[in-house]
């Protein structure tokens, strides 16, 4: 039995027995009937319907602004340009190139940020040694590192992935560190009283309690990685959504720019939903609204 289970067992109240004619689930203490709870499937369908309405409303506003004379391409023009880019294979190659850079940079940034954040939160000496450098680099935008990265690392894929890695790392390491620091000291002390060693406390108490913070940091880091992508692909890139948008800017090709923007938004949204699903699976014990 884990530390959390032992604490909960000591405070568990007996469940009152139901008697015929009473309903503990639906009636309040004063006899009033509470509102029925919506089932999880019902909430999902309601959320999906609201999402569809929001997307339709956004497209309608966009179309209205374009028709009113704003310098915006209409949705049919963007769809037509996307079809052209898909047919000639340009969009597919750009998506693969950009997605590869983001995935590699984000994966490396997260893989380094999580253990560094744990070490900073668990050991005070390492926190004092590492935290000033983390805070120092947080004040420097990753885009400002690009010139230095190009000079030191060349003009191949390395500097592009490095700046994406840096953006993801800085966002995730702070969240992980904060998650470890915010672990309830009572749980840690209780585990020590029960004879648990540091490794057991770390695995059974600190990691589960920090998981929500880590996943939130990963979501923020993912957004930072995509935000850094366009600037990273300015560095001697020949393919990629950011490169395609910058090239289209030279010719005032607004439909192509919109195709790139929408593609980045859709890919980022899908990846965020995957992380959100992982968060719900790994933190099912956490109470949600």
Once rounded to an integer, what is the mean pLDDT over residues 171-178? 88
Contact (Cβ atoms closer than 8 angstroms) between residue 175 and residue 224: no
Give the model's pLDDT for residue 102.
93
Q: What is the pLDDT of residue 38?
A: 60
Q: What is the pLDDT of residue 250?
A: 84
Question: Would you give the distance in Å from CA 289 to the centre of its chain?
Answer: 19
Asked whether residue 103 carries a pLDDT value surpassing 70, the answer given is yes
**pLDDT computed for residue 284 by the predictor:** 63
Query: pLDDT band at 23, cuts 50/70/90?
Result: very low
pLDDT of 245 strictly over 70: yes
Going by C-alpha positions, the residue among 219, 127, 132, 106 that lies closest to residue 180 is 127
Which carries the bigger pLDDT value, residue 5 or residue 212? Answer: 212
User: How many C-beta neighbours within 10 Å does residue 81 have?
Assistant: 20
- Strand runs labelled E in the chain: none
Contacting residues for 279 by C-beta, under 8 A, at least 6 apart: 212, 215, 216, 219
Radius of gyration of the CA atoms of the chain, in A: 25
pLDDT of 202 over the 80 cut: no
Residue 82 — pLDDT band, cuts 50, 70, 90? very high
Taking 50 as the threshold, does the pLDDT of residue 46 lie above it? yes
User: Are 174 and 109 within 8 A, CB to CB?
Assistant: no
Q: How far apart are CA 134 and CA 121, in angstroms?
A: 13
Task: Examine the pLDDT at 242 and tell me if it is beyond 70.
Answer: yes
Under 8 Å between Cβ of 273 and 215: no
The DSSP H or E segment spanning 85 is: helix 75-87
Interval 73-89 mean pLDDT: 92
Distance separating alpha carbons of residues 273 and 289, to the nearest angstrom? 18
pLDDT score recorded for residue 287: 58
Contact 186, 247 (CB under 8 A): no
Q: How many CB atoms lie within 10 A of CB 117?
A: 27
CB atoms within 10 A of CB 134: 18
- Read off the pLDDT band of 10 (50, 70, 90): very low
Tell me if 97 sits within 8 A of 160, measured CB to CB: no
pLDDT for 15 equals 44
- Kindly report the backbone phi and psi dihedral angles of residue 179, in degrees, each rounded to the nearest multiple of 5, phi listed first: -65, -40
pLDDT at 275: 87
Task: Give residue 143's pLDDT.
Answer: 76
State yes or no: pLDDT of 27 exceeds 90: no
Output the pLDDT for position 267.
92
Range among 88-102, 153-167, 224-238 rated most confident: 88-102
Mean pLDDT estimate for the chain: 81
Res 274 pLDDT > 80 = yes
In contact, 108 and 114? CB cutoff 8 Å: no
Tokens of 205: 């108490």
Report whether 185 contacts 123 (CB < 8 A). Answer: no
Residue range 118-156, pLDDT digits in tens = 888 888 888 889 888 988 888 888 778 888 888 888 878
Q: What is the mean pLDDT of residues 171-175?
A: 89
- The full set of domains in the chain, from first to last, is 72-282 (1.10.3720.10)
């Amino acid at each position: 039995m884990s530390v959390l289970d032992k604490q909960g067992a000591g405070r568990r109240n007996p469940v009152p027995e139901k008697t015929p004619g009473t309903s503990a689930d639906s009636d309040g203490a004063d006899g009033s009937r509470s509102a029925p709870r919506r089932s999880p499937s019902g909430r999902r369908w309601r959320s999906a319907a609201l999402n569809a309405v929001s997307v339709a409303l956004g497209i309608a506003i966009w179309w209205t602004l374009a028709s009113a004379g704003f310098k915006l391409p209409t949705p049919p023009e963007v769809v037509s340009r996307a079809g052209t880019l898909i047919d000639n294979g340009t969009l597919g190659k750009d998506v693969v190139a950009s997605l590869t850079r983001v995935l590699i940079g984000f994966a490396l940034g997260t893989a380094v940020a999580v253990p560094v954040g744990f070490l900073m939160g668990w050991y005070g000496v390492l926190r004092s040694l590492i935290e000033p450098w983390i805070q120092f680099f947080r004040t420097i935008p990753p885009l400002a590192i690009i010139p230095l990265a190009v000079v030191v690392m060349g003009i191949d894929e390395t500097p592009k992935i490095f700046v994406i890695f840096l953006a993801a790392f800085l966002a995730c390491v702070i969240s992980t560190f904060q998650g470890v620091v915010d672990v309830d000291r009572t749980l840690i002390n209780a585990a020590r009283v029960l004879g648990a060693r540091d490794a057991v406390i770390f695995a059974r108490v600190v990691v589960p309690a920090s998981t929500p913070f880590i996943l939130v940091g990963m979501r923020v880091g993912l957004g930072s990685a995509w935000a850094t992508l366009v600037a990273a692909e300015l560095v001697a890139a020949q393919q990629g959504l950011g490169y395609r948008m910058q090239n289209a800017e030279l010719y005032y090709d607004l439909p192509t720019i919109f195709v790139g923007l929408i593609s980045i938004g859709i890919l980022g949204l899908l990846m965020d939903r995957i992380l959100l699903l992982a968060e719900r699976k790994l933190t099912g014990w956490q109470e949600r609204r």
